[in-house]
Structure 1
Amino acid sequence: MNKIKDIQPAEVWGIFDQILQIPRPSNHEEKIQDWAVRFGNNLGLETLKDEAGNVVIRKPATPGMETRKGVILQGHLDMVPQKNSDKEHDFISDPIDAFIDGEWVTANGTTLGADNGIGVSAALAVLSSKNLKHGPLEVLLTATEETGMDGANGLKAGVLKGEILINTDSEDEGELYVGCAGGEDATALFSYTEEEIPAGFTGIKMSVTGMKGGHSGMDIALGRGNANKVFFRILNAAGEKLGVRLASIDGGGLRNAIPREAFGVLAVSEASVSDFAALVDELTETIKHELSATEPDLKVTIEQTEFPAALIDKKTQESLTMAVVACPNGVIRMSDSMKGLVETSTNLAIIKSDTEKKTILCAALMRSSVDSAKEDLASRIKAVFELAGAKVTFSGSYPGWKPNMDSAILKTMQEVYHEKFGKIPEIKAIHAGLECGILGGKYPGWDMISFGPTIRFPHSPDEKVNVETVQKFWDFMKATLENIPEK
């Protein structure tokens, strides 16, 4: 077996194989949206695409199931575009090069898009099935979930008719999710002036690579390093001891991905190059020792590069460096009510200079299941960057999803799972931004739950999905739909 479409269950993997061929990074989803519309139309089902880019497909109940509560199967169409620095890949035009690696399916140097492509594939497989029993069914495929939940925010009330929302965007088989964290974006913008490069300096490119990155919610508790933090930790020491100057910085790529790489162009006095190299080696070894369990492949390299045209002024460099060093990052607090769950966290995801605008953008994504804790974290980040002279703004706030332990669909799925697999699934909340919080606000009467197969390292080029759990996920979905309660 060497083809994705040949894996069992073929009805799910065959659709996922089609999705792999369609570029669908966030904010470039027209092709996958049009494909989804054609998919529904080709089945002869009522299909619509709304102004926000969401696709809704309706399938009537199978004979004898008309009195069951209406179900909405929900997933998002976009994927996170992350690749290794040495990988040639254009996410806007190139298909994903996926392959089978033992018990897993993964991709060659890029994100796979199993988040949320497998869930979408299963929902569409239900629409394609001619023998699966189910009540009134709707499939909701949302737009631009990964960078702002735009589709969920843009969905209008009254479009959907069902009473139960089953989200397919969870990533651990055998677990049912009944709550999630809310989130908010923080943006700090520095303006700088250019300074001439002093005589006797040379251009040096410093690169932080080899880090694992990952999902800034799901993986934030794993203790992985942050490439932006590593870069500025070294720059802070080099600036103080050797007068190293910063010309440009390009760290991280997406707010919801832990930054794996950071690159900057520096100016170093010719007399200090060897001392700078020694400092980089020493600090790299120190940081690798601190992160030995999570970042064994961390690398910090320096090489001579084309002389920069100008430098970021010294005052802004110092203010930026101190702000990045001081900025909260990672897990802030664990949950008091649910063991092992992160309550509040933040990810200093992007630090990027713009030589044309003479600005430096610092972007973070804050998450919390406690709104007041999220607000407190926002005030801390604002204080750090405003004290450093940056303009701070907040945007994209979305609510969390409060667990309902009396949920009827939760009880049904617990019973179904126990009957099929001989054990009770774990009930959990997730430290990530599922769309359920937003969708539940628009449809407050919905009974909601989330589940999925096992996916590891989403939002990074190490992303992979476990083959065996996709089969269980599919079997569980079919059995659940056959056992939906009466209206």
Structure 2
Amino acid sequence: MKEDGAGNVMAYGSSAKVTLQSHYDMVCIGRAPKIETVVENGWMHAKESSLGADNGIGVAMMLYLIQKGVQADFLFTNDEEIGLVGAENLELEIRTPYLLNLDSEEAGKVYIGCAGGEDIYVKRDVDYFTPTVPGRRYRLLAETPGGHSGVNIAQNIPNAITELCSVIAQNAAMEAASFRGGERINAIARHAEAVVWMPEGHEPQIQSPCVRVEEIDALTVPLLREGRVAAKALFGFAHGVRGWNRELDLPQSSINLAGVEICEGVIEVALSARAMSNEDLSRLVDQSRAGWEALGFESRTEGRYPAWKPEVNDFSKRVLEAYRKIYPDASYAAIHAGLECALFSERYPELQIVSIGPTILDPHSDRERVDLESIGKVMQVVSDLSTV
């Protein structure tokens, strides 16, 4: 067994033909990492937290096969959820001709392609002013279901930041003292809150069912001079799907309004862009940066990872054949989310890669759950392929 400087771990088999690979980190939402599992009607979920089936199930399968003495190579990667960091900085040798990634989330699908992505951060200084007329302060609180910024982006899940800022934008007399929202760069914002002020004679009008208001007090406090401009920019930003791939029947490109925070006189907005081709990704990132820069924001990017172009090869055919013994309707697919497969494919052009996994719904949220029956079926497929 070997470990590299990025925290990746490889357990080498003596006569391995295939490398099994999963990441061992998770997105912690709610009470996680204090996880209390619950099993209901054939599904496992966690009480008031994300479950970590993404990608804990893959890790569990690999540990089971190690205990069984299967002679495959087992690669456990680190920090996938914060930008595929472990895979990007892999120092361990992949010595087999085939790699089976266990980080997909729909049983019966043989994944042979994924989106590329890049994170965008924009910021600008903010000034404050003190109102000269009496008024009252309120707290706006937005709460939405949340979800994975790639897998769930086409489901029209409300974004808490968008919903919060819609209230500020739609109340002409409302000024903001502060606002913040979002949890993780790769999660649709679930929570957002703002402290706002309105002059006497005006009360907040709330149209969004996701937002509630609490009256605080009548203290005179500094207000953001650019608060309404920032709120309108956030409300007007086109969070969600930007283009559709009809051939693959999934988003071609999308962008997630992931977070906003004001700290020490600076407002910073975090965005996560995805696309099924590297060309579309570059275009989306450039357009997004240009739009915010036109509003006086500075921009930077980080965490870029490439798209994994769908390709049918000998290994994918073998995986599909094995899968159809368990799932007769199994088929090829691609996913509008980042998989470490893209980085492995870029680094090892001759490596044949496929991704499979059990059915996991709503990852990166406290609604995450895994179909227990699908785990057993996928385990059969993985066992068959571990000694190809």
Q: TM-score range by the shorter chain?
A: over 0.9
For the pair 1:122 / 2:61, whether they are aligned, the reply is: yes
Q: Distance in 1 between matches of 2:247 and 2:53?
A: 30
Q: What root-mean-square deviation, in Å, do the aligned CA atoms of Structure 1 and Structure 2 show?
A: 1.7
Q: Distance in 2 between matches of 1:438 and 1:113?
A: 22
Q: Structure 1 unaligned segments of length 5 or more: list them.
A: 1-46, 62-68, 84-88, 285-297
Q: Could you tell me which residue of structure 2 aligns to residue 319 of structure 1?
A: 229
Which of 158, 170, 175 aligns to 1:245? It is 175
TM-score, reference length from structure 1: 0.76
Cα deviation, residue 138, structure 1: 1.3
Tell me which of the two structures has the higher relative contact order, counting C-alpha pairs closer than 8 angstroms and 6 or more residues apart.
2
Equivalent residue of 1:377, what SS? helix
Q: Could you tell me which residue of structure 1 aligns to residue 89 of structure 2?
A: 154
For the pair 1:398 / 2:305, whether they are aligned, the reply is: yes
**2:236 partner amino acid:** A
Q: Could you tell me which residue of structure 2 aligns to residue 106 of structure 1?
A: 45
**1:54 partner amino acid:** N
Cα deviation, residue 394, structure 1: 1.4
- 1:245-303 Cα offsets, whole Å, 9 max, x none, are 11111211111111122111111223212xx2xx21xx12xxxxxxxxxxxxx531111
Which of 169, 172, 177 aligns to 2:106? It is 172
For the pair 1:270 / 2:175, whether they are aligned, the reply is: no
**2:175 partner amino acid:** R
Q: Structure 2 unaligned segments of length 5 or more: list them.
A: none
Cα deviation, residue 380, structure 1: 2.3
Q: Could you tell me which residue of structure 2 aligns to residue 442 of structure 1?
A: 347
Which of 205, 212, 230 aligns to 1:301? It is 212
- 1:413-456 Cα offsets, whole Å, 9 max, x none, are 122222x3261411001100001111222222210000000000
Q: Could you tell me which residue of structure 2 aligns to residue 26 of structure 1?
A: none
**2:108 partner amino acid:** G
Describe the shift of the 1:463–1:377 C-alpha distance in structure 2 as closer, same or farther (beyond 3 A).
same
Q: Could you tell me which residue of structure 1 aligns to residue 253 of structure 2?
A: 344
Equivalent residue of 1:349, what SS? strand
Where in structure 2 are the equivalents of 1:4-403 lying within 5 Å? 47-61=1-15, 70-83=17-30, 89=31, 91=32, 94-130=33-69, 134=70, 136-156=71-91, 159-209=93-143, 211-238=144-171, 240=172, 243-273=173-203, 276=204, 279-280=205-206, 283-284=207-208, 298-305=209-216, 310-314=221-225, 316-338=226-248, 340-354=249-263, 357-403=264-310
Q: Could you tell me which residue of structure 2 aligns to residue 411 of structure 1?
A: 317
Cα deviation, residue 103, structure 1: 1.2
Cα deviation, residue 108, structure 1: 0.7
- 1:14-53 Cα offsets, whole Å, 9 max, x none, are xxxxxxxxxxxxxxxxxxxxxxxxxxxxxxxxx1221011
The answer as to whether partners of 1:104 and 1:464 remain within 8 angstroms in 2 is yes
Identical amino acids, percent of aligned pairs: 30
**1:153 partner amino acid:** E
The answer as to whether partners of 1:192 and 1:312 remain within 8 angstroms in 2 is no
Q: Distance in 1 between matches of 2:54 and 2:327?
A: 27
Q: Distance in 1 between matches of 2:366 and 2:216?
A: 27
Q: Distance in 1 between matches of 2:116 and 2:222?
A: 39
Q: Distance in 2 between matches of 1:244 and 1:422?
A: 56
Describe the shift of the 1:126–1:307 C-alpha distance in structure 2 as closer, same or farther (beyond 3 A).
farther
Describe the shift of the 1:311–1:376 C-alpha distance in structure 2 as closer, same or farther (beyond 3 A).
farther
Q: Distance in 2 between matches of 1:77 and 1:195?
A: 48
**1:270 partner amino acid:** E
Q: Distance in 2 between matches of 1:424 and 1:181?
A: 24
> As a proportion of its length, which structure holds more strand?
2
Q: Could you tell me which residue of structure 2 aligns to residue 5 of structure 1?
A: none
Equivalent residue of 2:19, what SS? strand
Number of residue-to-residue matches in the alignment: 388
Describe the shift of the 1:306–1:467 C-alpha distance in structure 2 as closer, same or farther (beyond 3 A).
farther
Q: Distance in 2 between matches of 1:382 and 1:421?
A: 46
Q: Distance in 2 between matches of 1:227 and 1:399?
A: 28
Equivalent residue of 1:421, what SS? coil
Q: Distance in 2 between matches of 1:481 and 1:75?
A: 14
TM-score, reference length from structure 2: 0.95
Question: 374-383 vs 450-459, which deviates more?
Answer: 374-383
The answer as to whether partners of 1:194 and 1:310 remain within 8 angstroms in 2 is no
Q: Could you tell me which residue of structure 1 aligns to residue 361 of structure 2?
A: 456
Equivalent residue of 1:205, what SS? strand
Q: Distance in 2 between matches of 1:375 and 1:476?
A: 37
Cα deviation, residue 326, structure 1: 2.8
Question: 69-78 vs 463-472, which deviates more?
Answer: 69-78
Q: Distance in 1 between matches of 2:94 and 2:118?
A: 27
- 1:48-74 Cα offsets, whole Å, 9 max, x none, are 22101111112224xxxxxxx621111
**1:236 partner amino acid:** A
Equivalent residue of 1:272, what SS? coil
